Amino acid sequence: MTTATGQAQPPISGEAIPRRQETELRATPSHWSGRISPLVALLAAILLLLILPPTLFLINTSFHLTNPDGSFGAFTLQHYRRLFASPYFAASFGNTAIYAVGTAVVAIALGVVQALIVERTNTPGRGYVLLAAILSLGVPHVLYVVAWLLLLGRAGPVNALIALVGGADGPALDVYSMWGMVVIEGVGFAPVTFLLMSAVLRSTDPSFEEAAMMSGAGPLLTFRAITLRMGLPGILALLLLVFIRAFESFEVPALVGLAGNVNVLTTTIYQSSKNSSIPDYGESGAYSVCLLLIVLLLLVWHHRLSANARRFQTITGKGYRPRVIDLGRGRYLAAALLLVTFVLVTLLPVGMLVFTSLQPFYEGVTPESFARFTLDNYDTILAPGSFRDSIANTLILGVATATAVVPTTALCAWLAARRRPGAWLLDQIATAPLIFPAIVMSVAFLQVFVNLPIPLYGTLLSVVIASTVRFLPYGMRYAYAGVLQIHADIEDAARTAGAAGGRVFTRIVLPLISAALVSCWLFVFLLAAQNVALPLMLVGPGTEVMAVTLFDLWQNGQVTELAAMGVLWVALMLAVSTLFHVVSRRYRFDVR
C-alpha cells in the first residue's frame, strides 16, 4: 500500500505479503547510502547539471554588482541591505500575503462545496463536474484573467448592468484592486481545488456520516460536524498548497495588480529584471532568493501537515464502499449551484472571449456591438506572420518539453521505485524544482544563458530547457505512481528468462505504464504551453510563444486580436484536455 506521494506504508491488518517484498518495504536509503549504480550516477549528474547552475547563478547574482554587459561585478551585500531597508519590500510582502490568503479562502470555499456535492450526494448531473474541471485546464490562465478583466472592467457588462439597475454615473466596480486579484485568482483555482478535494472525500469512509444521519442529523449538520472534520487535514494541506501557488503566481498580479498599483513579490521581481532601462539583476536576484526561501519553508510546512493526515485515516479494508446522501428536493438546488459555478468558472470567460474576438474594436457589450460582428481578427491571426509563428513555437515548446520530461522521469521513477542503489537521490533531485516559483526560475535561467559562451539566450531551446526543469516534478509523480502499480515479480520473471535491465525497462515496464506516461505527456504539454512567467524573460524576436504573445497584446491594448488568438488556442487546448481526460478514464489512471 502506498501514499499519494509514492511512499510505502505498512499493509493493512491481516494482509499477507511476500518476504522479499516485506524486506523492500523496510528498506531505507541508509542501507545503500554508500553505493550508487553507474546509471543512477549518470542520471543524477544530468539532473544536477540542469538544476544546479540556475540556482548558483541566482544566488551569486544577489551577492554581486551587475556590469553593463550582464557579467558579475564586485561582491556586495547592498542588494539585501537595500531590500530590507526599503518600505517597498514590506509592502510587497504584505500585499502578497493578503492576496494569497484571500485566494486560498475563495478557492477552498468553491472547491470544497463542489466536492461535497459531487462525492457525497445524489445531485443529478454531478458526474459531468469532473469533465468540466478537466476541460477548464485547457483555458490558459492568462486568457482566463483577460476574460475576467473584460467582464469586470470599466466598460465591461457587469459594470454596465450595475449602472443600468442602480443608475450610477461611473463604473461601480474597480477590478484593478486587491479584491479583483483575489476573486479572479480564487475562481481560477476552483477547478484544481475541486479535483484535489474530491480525492480526499473519496478516501473517507461515509459510514460515519450514515451513523450521524441515522441519529437525526440533517445533511448540512452531517457535512459540517462529520465530513469536514474527518477531511480537516486534507483541507488544511490543500489550503496551504493553494496559498503557496497564489504566493508565487504572476499572471493575475501582472495583469490586474500592476494596473491598480498593487505590487506583490513576483511583479517586483519582474519589474526589476525587465522594465527598467538598465535591468537591476542584483535586486531581482535578492528578491528571488527571498521568495525562494519563503516558498521552501511553506512547502516544508505543507509536507509535515500532509504527513499528519494518517491520524485521520478511516478506511480499514473492511466493509468500505462509497455511498451518497439523499438530499431530497435539495438535490435540485445543489445541481443549480454546480451549474452556476460552471458558468462562472468556464462558460462566462470563454463566452466573453468569443464575443470580443468578433468585434472590430472593443467598447463593451452593447446592442450596437452585436451588429458589428466580423471575422477580420481571425484573418489577421491566421495570416503569415508573428501570430502564426507564435502558435508554431508554442506547439514545438509543448511537444519538446513533454517529450524530454516523460522518458527521463520514467527511468528515474523506475530506478527509485525499485530501490536501486542510490536511486533515492533521483527522486529528491527531480522534485527540487518545486521550490522555484516560475518567475524566479525565469530570472535564474536568464542569468545562466546571458553568461554562457554559447548564444542560447533568446532562443526557443532556452525556453525548452527551462520548461523541462520546471516540470520534472510532475513527470516524476506520474511515472512513480505508474511504476508502483507493477508488481516486481513480473520484472524478476523477465530477468530469469535472460532479459537484461535495459530490455526489462523497455519491453516490460514502459508498455505497462504507457497509460500513465501518455497522461503525463498531455499534462506537461498543457502546462508548458500555458505558462507565462517562465518564458517571459527568455524569449527573443522570432521565438515568441502564445502565452507571452497574449500577455504583450494585452499590454499593447490589442484586445480583439488577443481574443481571436485566444479562442483558437482554447479550442486546441480543450481538445488536448479532452484527450487527457479520455486516456485517464480509459485506463483508470486517476488524475486526482
The residues spanned by each domain of the chain are: 31-65+381-592, 77-313+321-374
2: which strand partners? 8
Between CA 552 and CA 209 the distance in angstroms is: 51
pLDDT tens column, 432-463: 898 888 988 998 998 899 888 888 889 999 99
Q: Are 560 and 361 in contact (CB under 8 A)?
A: yes
64: which strand partners? 75
Per-residue pLDDT at 23: 39
Q: Single out the residue of 197, 183, 194, 203 nearest to residue 131, CA to CA.
A: 194
Between CA 425 and CA 33 the distance in angstroms is: 10
Per-residue pLDDT at 95: 94
Choose the CATH number for 77-313+321-374 among 2.40.160.10, 3.30.70.520, 3.80.10.10, 1.10.3720.10: 1.10.3720.10
User: Hunting for cell 502564445 — which residue is that?
Assistant: 546
pLDDT-flagged residues of the chain (< 70): 1-34, 69-71, 167-168, 170, 199-200, 202-210, 231, 234, 275-279, 305-323, 386, 584-592
Per-residue pLDDT at 276: 54
Domains 31-65+381-592 and 77-313+321-374 fall in the same CATH topology: yes
Between CA 340 and CA 113 the distance in angstroms is: 12
Choose the CATH number for 31-65+381-592 among 1.10.3720.10, 3.40.50.300, 1.10.510.10, 3.30.300.30: 1.10.3720.10
Per-residue pLDDT at 585: 66
Between CA 237 and CA 121 the distance in angstroms is: 24
N- to C-terminal Cα separation, the chain? 18
72: which strand partners? 66
Per-residue pLDDT at 154: 85
Per-residue pLDDT at 374: 92
Per-residue pLDDT at 31: 41
